[in-house]
Amino acid sequence: MNKFTGIRGRVWFKALTGQASSMPGDPHSVLTADAQIGDDKARFLCVVPDPDGRFPCARRGEVGLEEAYTLAARVREAIGADKESAKRPIIAIVDVKSQAYGRREETAGIHLAGAAAADAYATARFAGHPVITLIVGQAISGGFLTHGYQANCLLAFDDDGVLIHAMHKEAAARITRRTVAQLDKLAETVTPLSYNVRDYAKLGLLYRLLHVSNPEDPAPEDVSLVRHEVIAAIQDARKASPDLINRTESEAACVARKASRLVRARLEEQWNH
């Protein structure tokens, strides 16, 4: 596990909002703040580790029941408040090691909690809120689906500490009956298998890869660069289609996601035969 998991989220939340606290009544694992960025007051959200959290399987930066429902509630609160006014940007700062793997979670139906959060982000996007995701560390599996993957624009640091994937490497190797070395070798040619963020960028899903000199302890120039890029993303999101079609239409996606595009074209042709 990356030694910085969960640290980067708090660091960047603080760098961009000037604070790092939960809203009243929320678990300490979810940071929410409304802060100025460019001409907008945006809502920032981040999931961070809380060693004293209520649920034992969600204390190390995983997205559990409380985190997912809190994100859902805080995003919907912003949608409700802006119903008749300008739609504030919603910024998800992402450093999540995974969803919570626990029996209480499954018994309660964590899939619905995750669905509620994804629903809130997507609903915000369709309602005209620019939804921007800044991946500063890990963005893994159900944790990422719950927090971040519904954004108009995905921005990620070009850095070895950034990990975007469906499953941690050791577990993925085990389940597909490979060694980690074999998986690494395959990932050189099979781009979606790779754990490298530059390979992820080749899939055409990212809006921008950001070069930040020190992601754990950002210098003022790093913060101002990120701020600048997020503002640009907000402006582009306001002009773009509110769905996720851009993820298959980018230049890189035209190469890497050829099969996705072919499927869509074929279905369109045959839909009304």
Partner 1 sequence: MRDPILTREYLKRRSFIELSARDRAKCLFDSGTGLELAGPFDRIESPWLAMQDVTPEADDGCIVMRGTIGGQQAVVIAFAGAFQGGAIGEVSGAKLTAALDLARADNEKGIRTNAVLLLETGGVRLQEANLGLAAVAEIISSIIALRRHAPVISLTAGTVGCFGGMSLAAGVASYVVMTPEGRLGLNGPEVIEEESGVEEFDASDRSLIWSVFGGRQRYDQGLADALVDDDADQIAKTVRDLIAQGVPPVHRSEQIDLYRSRITALDNARQWNPEELHFRASQNKEENR
Of residues 123 through 162, those in contact with partner 1 by CB under 8 A are 123, 125-126, 141-142, 144-146, 149-150
Residue 5 or 141: the one with the smaller Cβ distance to partner 1 is 141
Helix (H, G, I), strand (E, B) or coil at 147: coil
Residue 251 or 268: the one with the smaller Cβ distance to partner 1 is 268
Q: Give how far Cα 233 sits from Cα of 207, 225, 245, Å.
A: 8, 12, 16
Task: Determine the size of the site formed for partner 1 (CB under 8 A).
Answer: 79
Residue 10 or 125: the one with the smaller Cβ distance to partner 1 is 125
Q: Which is nearest to 53 in space by CA: 34, 79, 26?
A: 26
> Which of 40, 105, 222, 229 is close enough to bind partner 1 by CB under 8 A?
105
Residue 38 or 102: the one with the smaller Cβ distance to partner 1 is 102
For 158: left if phi > 0, alpha if psi spans -120 to 50, otherwise beta; the answer is: beta
Between CA 237 and CA 229 the distance in angstroms is 12
Footprint (CB under 8 A) of partner 1, residues 214-233: none
Between CA 60 and CA 155 the distance in angstroms is 23
Residue 101 or 219: the one with the smaller Cβ distance to partner 1 is 101
Helix (H, G, I), strand (E, B) or coil at 271: helix
Between CA 239 and CA 83 the distance in angstroms is 19
Least distance between partner 1 and beta carbon 61 (Å): 14
Least distance between partner 1 and beta carbon 248 (Å): 8
Footprint (CB under 8 A) of partner 1, residues 12-71: 54-55, 57, 65, 69
CB atoms within 10 A of CB 117: 29
**Maximum Cα–Cα distance for the chain, whole Å?**
59
> Which of 23, 73, 231, 252 is close enough to bind partner 1 by CB under 8 A?
73
> Which of 115, 127, 223, 232 is close enough to bind partner 1 by CB under 8 A?
115
DSSP run (H or E) holding 136: strand 131-140
Q: How many CA atoms lie within 13 A of 104 on its CB side?
A: 9
Least distance between partner 1 and beta carbon 219 (Å): 30
Stretch that binds partner 1, among 2-10, 200-208, 212-220, 231-239 (CB under 8 A): 200-208
Residue 84 or 268: the one with the smaller Cβ distance to partner 1 is 268
Least distance between partner 1 and beta carbon 264 (Å): 4
Decide if residue 241 touches partner 1 (CB under 8 A): no
Q: Which is nearest to 138 in space by CA: 99, 102, 173, 171?
A: 99
Please check whether residue 147 is in contact with residue 47, taking contact to mean a CB–CB distance below 8 angstroms: yes
Stretch that binds partner 1, among 2-10, 37-45, 82-90, 103-111 (CB under 8 A): 103-111
